[in-house]
Amino acid sequence: MPENLKFRQLPGLYAIVRLAATAPVPEWATKGDFSSITRSTDELSIVCAAHAVPKDFDPGLRWICMKLEGPFPFSQTGVLRSFIEPLSSNGIPIFAISTYDTDYVLVQEEFAGVTLQALDNVGHELRCDGPS
């Protein structure tokens, strides 16, 4: 299991929106530098830039998004767990998304400060240089 992970906080705030399983993917859902669209038989989940969500939708809470510096091979286990365990221990709710190369963890905006402190306390490193 990895010990010290490097991560970046993506700029801006994000929204997590739930639509009906049969809803078409709205154009606004793919705006911005990062979005995630997942369809299941129960729902269509959209994570996108908060400013992209139209006013007629309730975007709910605003979230910050952290990108773990990957890529991580599929054989490497415990990456996401080592990142979210200190958050869970501090009562910080998360929304996690995994891609082929890496993981993204979203936390509610109100928990941003305590999140970064909890991650720093266990040795995970917030990277601020260069593009994400």
- What ranges do the domains of the chain cover? 6-126
Neighbours of 71 (CB within 10 A): 11
Q: What is the mean pLDDT of each run of 10 residues along the chain (132 residues)?
A: 84 95 96 94 96 85 92 75 93 94 94 96 85 50
Tens digit of each residue's pLDDT (9 = 90 or more) over 51-84: 999 988 877 889 999 999 887 767 777 788 899 9
Q: Provide the angle, in degrees to the nearest 10, between the axes of the packed helices 112-121 and 79-89.
A: 120
Is the CB of residue 36 less than 8 Å from the CB of residue 49? no
Strands 125-126, 6-9: pairing is parallel
Its sign, for the CA torsion 68, 29, 112, 129, is positive
CATH number attached to the domain at 6-126: 3.30.2130.10
E strand or H helix at 120: helix 112-121
Which pLDDT belongs to residue 2? 61
Which pLDDT belongs to residue 57? 81
